[in-house]
Amino acid sequence: MAMIMTPHINAEKDAFGKTVLMPGDPLRSKFIAENFLENAQLVNNIRGIQGYTGNYKGTKVSVMASGMGMPTIGIYSYELFHFFDVENIIRIGSAGALQENVKLRDIVFGMGACTNSNYASQYGLCGTFAPTASYALLKEAVNQADQIGATYHVGNIFSSDVFYNDSNDANEGWQKMGVLCVEMEAAALYMNAARCQKNALAILTVSDSIVTGEKTTAQERENSFTQMMEIALNTAHVL
């Protein structure tokens, strides 16, 4: 099998499963590979991004980090969709709650992804594009969440280009519009999937609350958000 060398991935053409789970953190990729996948092999480590492929309940599944922000997930998802025949990318990440009823460690499924990014400008659209999840992935992931009794929310999320915002009230408008949480990647992933006619979904675990100020530790974010991981893996298994 021929090697494919992109600027960010160096792997064999068939190195990845048709479904790739994408956490932001490379250490979360490693954790999933070591704790959930059978016969996991490191298939890409350009820039330390750590991409693994193994078996989950007999299904070939891959997990590879995206890094932080829309430019990075935009690069990795583009290359996976275009050069490695990946059909589905499920982002599994952390998010900050924007609503009082969205609690620490709750699961959020991003049905749509609002954004302050200019990512969509590349498409030359005469209007505003609404990035949305693939319904088939969303439907199955919610089904899997029901089966394990997870506490979850389905709705609009906010993909921000800014982590340290100069404005103290930057989130108020999104809260007012009922947006569930804020993260930094899903909108670009959804746009890439739409352009490639592929499938994407963001499954998020609430790591902190903009409303209450509660937060989890970096170590907890790395290896304790296992419900989200199980939902994504079980979804990949039945696709």
Q: Hey, which residues are catalytic here?
A: 208
For residues 189 and 67, what is the distance between their CA atoms, to the nearest angstrom?
13
H or E segment and range at residue 159: strand 152-159
Burial of residue 39 (CB within 10 Å: 0-12, 13-18, 19+) is exposed
Burial label, 126 (beta-carbon count in 10 A; 0-12, 13-18, 19+):
exposed
Whether the CB-CB separation of 22 and 91 falls below 8 Å is answered with yes
- DSSP secondary structure string for all residues of 178-214: T--EEESSHHHHHHHHHHHT-EEEEEEEEEEETTT--
The torsion angles phi and psi of 77, rounded to 5 degrees, stand at -70, -35
Structure tokens at 196: 């490639």
Is the distance from CB of 108 to CB of 180 less than 8 angstroms? yes
Nearest residue to 108 via CA among 204, 236, 209 = 204
Query: From CA 200, how far away is CA 136, in angstroms rounded?
Result: 9
Q: Say if residues 238 and 118 touch (Cβ distance below 8 Å).
A: no
